[in-house]
Every structure is written in structure tokens, then in C-alpha cells.
């Protein structure tokens, strides 16, 4: 049975998240419905990251198994035609090896969180970035972020409903940069806890606004106590931009 690797882009605003749920349309359901409309097959689409409601993606990865060996071009074109009007696009399709798994074969996941730090409201970027009016100190956030890099117990930055067996994760990258009014957080790890990125970004904004100091953030991390987390950043500023795999994941 041929396996296909799909690279997806989507606006997370209208969805309850990646994962199929009973309370609304998910990205997974939209994709599976498109596969059925094209092929007549009911399949499970397995995603690399279970993005929350409102979180976007430019590099989500999924795999599906189909009984027919479609050409990647035709499969991508057909799925995109049937994904309308959902804001989901199949950017690329590749044949994958039978042992490729979009989630379990991943070697790194990369997210970007964007803030627009200005007095004026957002227009073109509404729903794509967190608008914050008071001036933030990006340098202070960058310095404080260093305490989060590495292997830690991230209980403080883990949602209370997180189902992961362990709160320990290794954060490979957390860069904070400013370009004019735009503040960008670039975050990378093998895997993340539920709402970990948004919890870290929100707490770093507390540093940038002067409500917290860098030692406050480090103490919150060490406490391993969810009640010590700062604010949680809203979902619409977060985007899954890339998932890395070994080079031989595709045929």
C-alpha cells in the first residue's frame, strides 16, 4: 500500500486544531474528507504536530496510506481542489517509505511566534500575530530565554491538560529578534509539551514588559509548578514552520 508524505499549509483560525474532535472542524478531518472525496477511501491522516485551535502552519507534515499509487502531482492537485473552501493547502506531495511516520520519524520541529509591538492596531496581519501596544524590551527577553534552552523539567510551561508521560524536554533553540515593530521567537526541539511554546513566549513577554526579571523566569522554570507560569500567549501568533526528517524518509 503506497504511503505519501504531505507538506501542508493552513490558517488555523477556523479550526479546533489539527486533531479530529467532536466540537468542530479540524485540519485532520478536512484533509481526510478531501482524500475520501478524491479517492473514495476513508483513511487516517497522521500529522507531525498536533497544533492547537488557532495555530497556523506553513510546514506541517502528514502521511496517508492509499491503495492506489497516485503520482504525487495528481494527488496534490486533486486534494487541493477538494479542500476548498477550507484554508488548507497541500504544498508538496512525496512518495514515502513504508516505515516513514510523520510524527514518530520526526527529528526536529520548528515554530515561529510573531508579535507586532506598536500602538496602531493590526490590519493585514490581524489573526497572524499578537498585537502588543506597550514597548517590549527584546534584549531582555533574549537574555532571559537562555535559561530555557537545554534539557529541563518544563512542568511550569506545560498545560494542565497535557497528556505527555514526562514533562522533561530538550529545547534546542529559542531565539528572540526584533526588526522594527516585529518581534520574532524562533523555537526548535524534537518535541514539545501541550502549549509549551505559547507558555514560554507569554512568560518572556512578562520579562519584556518589565513585570518579570530574567531571574524570575529562571525561578519559575526551576519551580516546576504550573501556577508559576506567566501569561500564555494567544494561539494566532504561532506557526509550525518546518519538521525535519532523515534524508531517506522519502523515496
Q: Which of 33, 52, 179, 181 is catalytic?
A: 52
**Residue 218 three-state SS:** helix
CA distance 148 to 172: 9
Q: Residue 127 has what DSSP assignment?
A: T
Number of Cβ within a 10 Å radius of residue 17: 19
Q: How far is CA 99 from CA 2, 3, 14, 50, 163, in A?
A: 11, 9, 33, 20, 25
Active site (annotated) includes residue 52? yes
Please enumerate in sequence order all residues whose Cβ is within 8 A of that of 233, keeping only pairs 6 or more positions apart, or say none. Answer: 113, 130, 197, 198, 199, 201, 202, 205
Q: How many residues does the chain have?
A: 251
Q: Are 182 and 118 in contact (CB under 8 A)?
A: no
* Catalytic positions, written as ranges: 52
Amino acid at each position: 500500500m503506497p504511503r505519501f508524505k504531505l507538506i501542508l499549509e493552513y490558517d488555523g483560525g477556523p479550526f479546533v486544531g489539527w486533531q479530529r474532535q467532536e466540537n468542530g472542524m479540524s485540519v485532520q478531518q478536512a484533509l481526510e474528507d478531501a482524500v475520501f472525496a478524491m479517492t473514495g477511501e476513508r483513511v487516517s491522516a497522521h500529522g507531525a504536530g498536533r497544533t492547537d485551535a488557532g495555530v497556523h502552519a506553513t510546514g506541517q507534515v502528514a502521511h496517508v496510506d492509499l491503495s492506489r499509487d497516485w503520482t504525487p502531482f495528481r494527488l496534490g492537485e486533486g486534494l487541493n481542489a477538494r479542500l476548498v473552501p477550507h484554508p488548507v493547502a497541500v504544498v508538496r506531495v512525496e512518495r514515502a517509505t513504508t516505515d516513514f511516520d510523520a510524527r514518530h520519524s520526526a527529528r526536529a520541529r520548528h515554530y515561529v511566534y510573531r508579535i507586532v509591538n506598536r500602538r496602531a492596531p493590526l490590519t493585514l496581519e490581524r489573526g497572524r500575530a499578537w498585537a502588543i501596544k506597550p514597548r517590549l524590551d527584546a534584549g531582555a527577553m533574549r537574555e532571559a530565554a537562555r535559561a530555557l534552552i537545554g534539557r529541563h523539567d518544563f512542568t511550569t510551561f506545560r498545560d494542565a491538560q497535557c497528556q505527555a508521560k514526562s514533562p522533561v524536554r530538550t529545547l534546542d533553540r529559542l531565539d528572540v529578534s526584533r526588526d522594527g515593530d516585529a518581534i520574532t521567537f524562533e523555537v526548535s526541539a524534537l518535541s514539545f509539551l501541550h502549549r509549551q511554546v505559547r507558555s514560554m513566549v507569554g512568560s518572556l513577554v512578562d520579562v519584556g514588559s518589565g513585570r518579570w526579571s530574567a531571574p524570575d523566569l529562571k525561578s519559575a522554570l526551576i519551580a516546576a509548578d504550573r501556577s508559576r507560569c506567566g501569561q500564555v500567549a494567544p494561539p494566532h501568533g504561532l506557526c509550525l514552520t518546518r519538521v525535519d526528517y532523515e534524508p531517506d524518509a522519502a523515496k
